[in-house]
Amino acid sequence: MTQQAVTTTDTQLSVSEVSELLGITAHTARYYERAGLLTVGRSQSGHRAYDRKTVERLEFLVRMRSSGMGISELNRYVDLVREGDSTTEARLQIMLAQRERIRTQIRELERALDTTEYKIATYGGAPGDLRSSGTHSPTGTDTATPAASTIPTANDHELEGTSS
């Protein structure tokens, strides 16, 4: 979902429309409301009605949660937002810590990708081989040799638990 998709939403959306737009389940959307992280309006018939700002807030919550921010930390952040401008510094600190967690995750995923590319090359495949994944490396680094710290020191049989 792109920021453009959210900002062009001028009408109120149902929970199923928001779920489809953000790529989440309706249960997940309702969960954020029940957890007190989101206030969702109601239509005249009593159904949830998400306006543009609510969809943007939900997208933020989903992105933070999917990148490892815990519910308690999300609650803390939302509480700070509700307290107003005097909490800007505390919110900044939360976002700085979250950015570092995300950067750490990216580094770990890049190492895992390097190791995977190494194993693909070991089995006769080429870096960026499209036979099964259908995509190129998202980092744009199609090298077969991982960083020295990720090269397996045991042979494949020891790693896979086989003796043949």
Domains of the chain, CATH where assigned: 15-123 (1.10.1660.10)
Assess whether pLDDT exceeds 90 at residue 141.
no
Considering only residues 107 and 151, tell me which one the structure prediction assigns the higher pLDDT.
107
Percent above pLDDT 70 for the chain: 71
Q: Band of the pLDDT at 16, cuts 50, 70, 90?
A: very high
Tell me how far apart the alpha carbons of residues 100 and 120 are, in angstroms, rounded to a whole number.
30
For position 125, what pLDDT does the model report?
Answer: 87
Give dist(CA 82, CA 100) in Å, integer: 24
pLDDT of residue 142: 44
Q: Which residue, among 76, 25, 33, has the nearest Cα to 54 in the 3D structure?
A: 33
- What is the pLDDT at residue 149? 47
Residue with the bigger pLDDT between 13 and 138: it is: 13
Average pLDDT rounded to a whole number, residues 42-61: 96
Task: Give residues with Cβ within 8 angstroms of 157, minimum separation 6.
Answer: 163, 164
In a 13 Å sphere around the CA of 26, the CA atoms on its Cβ side amount to 8
pLDDT of 133 higher than 90:
no
Structure-model confidence comparison of residues 2 and 65, the more confident one: 65
Residue 19 predicted with pLDDT over 80: yes
User: Could you tell me which of 73, 114, 118 has the C-alpha nearest to residue 93?
Assistant: 73
| Contacts (Cβ under 8 Å, ≥6 apart) of 17 | 50
Burial of 33 (C-beta count, 10 Å sphere; 0-12/13-18/19+): middle
Cα Rg of the chain (Å, integer): 22
Q: Which residues on neighbouring strands pair with residue 42, listed in sequence order?
A: 48
User: In this predicted model, which residue has the larger pLDDT, 124 or 24?
Assistant: 24
